[in-house]
Chain A
Amino acid sequence: MLSRRIIPCLDVRDGRVVKGVRFRDHVDMGDIEQLAMRYRDAGADELVFYDISASPDARSVDVGWVERVARIIDIPFCVAGGIRSVDAARRVLNAGADKISVNSPALERPHLITELADAFGVQCVVLGVDSLRDADGEWRVRQYTGDPSRTRALPRRTLDWLSEAQDLGAGEIVLNCMGSDGVRQGYDLEQLKAARRLCRVPLIASGGAGKAEHFSQVFEQADVDGALAASVFHNGSIEIPELKRYLRQQRIEVRDVA
């Protein structure tokens, strides 16, 4: 049986891992390779690196660190941030990333998803979606969330966008539920269940993890393929080996921790 994946997300700026509240007040957390190794040794199933220096400046990811990470880690990793063309994606993949993730650029130009899938196969193409419930009760997508001063609420309904993106060639979807993000009260099960009903491709939950029970809830109730989290792993409030032991006890299939 396919294991449920535990995925730490690391924000990268200028070749360092940083932690911050959105776009401001970033604290240096250390060297990318060291943190990548630490999570790999703890039993992370996959890593996502979000290059936050790239997107707002409209420049592409610096691939030097991608190659350094690819050399040392032996689990898959995905790179997000600032990828808006087939050429930019190729540089990242050739440097050794296993997948690339696109978000705002795909909203600007949805056909980008198809171009990436045609060039590299759907298995390389992850769509990141930032979603928030509006006053009328509908979930709609947000764009440019990396910079609060530029964030835009779009008229596009989240569920419509997920369907469209799959048809265009997205091979995996990371749904970041902004309403629960950073609050640590649990993943947005209602939204993730709705997304699951129409996702044929792997679906990854993002936003809201605060304790181990939140992971078992999201796997059992929303049937997601993976759960992504950042702060609870970075601050050590959840240790991955313990989390996996807990999930095992709940009879959730996870990969062995060495």
Chain B
Amino acid sequence: MSRVVLIDAGGSNIGSVQYALQRIGVEAPLTRDAGQIRAAERVILPGVGAAMPAMQRLREAGLIELIRQLQQPLLGVCVGMQILFERSEEGDVDCLGLLPGRVQKLAGGEGLRIPHMGWNRVFKQQADEPLLVGIEDGAHAYFVHSYAVLDLSAAAAICEHGQRFVAVARRGNVAGAQFHPERSATFGARLLENFVR
């Protein structure tokens, strides 16, 4: 049985997440198989694209309830993190509801381009967040998104682009990263190591 699995919710960054795990010595198969997901010690939900097609793909695979009931550590990445929350404005879709808050469009404004694309600083909200062990406060991570969670009640770390938003989310065994650890150099590698360790 594989220790770490990647849930196939579509999106084009799946390969990149898989390669990032290989770089830290972890082989994580991509799967939609309920038994394989349930048996894994760690589950990652990657995603690029939009909340609506990601939720639809999970529903078609019959994985919605299964993901809600997982007891092992679960990590959502980018859109994979967004769909852990209650609802997304993008496509106006109900999400998994494992984390409190809604996903909203970033407002942008003078000097604030949308999508929020590039390297931005991440600041810890919870000093003891296990995903951020060994990572300096204010380290740069790579973001690419137009939607974000502005309600900070599940925030273990935040980022700011005109508005403050959730960069790393946590509630119990459920966590998420709005940025792309697979493309965030040493910060990203350390976060993944912290997760699979």
- Name A residues whose Cβ lies closer than 8 Å to a Cβ of B: 1-3, 5, 40, 45-46, 67, 70-72, 74-76, 90, 93-96, 98, 120-124, 171-172, 199-203, 223, 225-226, 255-256, 258
Contact = CB atoms under 8 A, between A and B. Distances in A.
Main secondary structure of the interface of B (DSSP, over half): mixed
Interface in B1-36: 12-13, 15-16, 19-20, 22-23
Nearest to A67: B15
Nearest 5 A/B pairs, CB to CB: A93-B12, A255-B119, A3-B119, A255-B140, A71-B19
B130 interface: no
Contact of B16 (A98, A121, A202): A98
Interface string B111-123: 1011111111100
Main secondary structure of the interface of A (DSSP, over half): loop
Contacts of A201: 113-115
Interface of B: 12-13, 15-16, 19-20, 22-23, 48-50, 108, 111, 113-121, 139-140, 142, 144-146, 160-161, 180, 182-186, 188-189
Nearest to B115: A123
Most A Cβ at <10 Å: residue of B113, B182, B184? B113
Contacts of B183: 74-76, 98
Nearest to B184: A74
Nearest to B50: A121
Nearest to A89: B12
Contacts of A3: 118-120, 140
A46 B142 CA distance: 10
Contacts, number: 99
Contacts of B160: 1
A192 to B, nearest CB: 14
Contacts of B119: 2-3, 5, 45, 255
Contacts of A40: 185
A202 B161 CA distance: 13
A203 B145 CA distance: 16
Nearest to B140: A255
B120 A96 contact: no
A70 B14 CA distance: 11
A70 B13 CA distance: 10
Contacts of A71: 19, 22-23
B117 A200 contact: no
Contacts of A121: 48-50
Given A2-B161, A121-B49, A201-B115, A256 B140 contact: yes
A79 B173 CA distance: 37
A2 B106 CA distance: 14
A200 B13 contact: no
A76 B181 CA distance: 11
B121 A120 contact: no
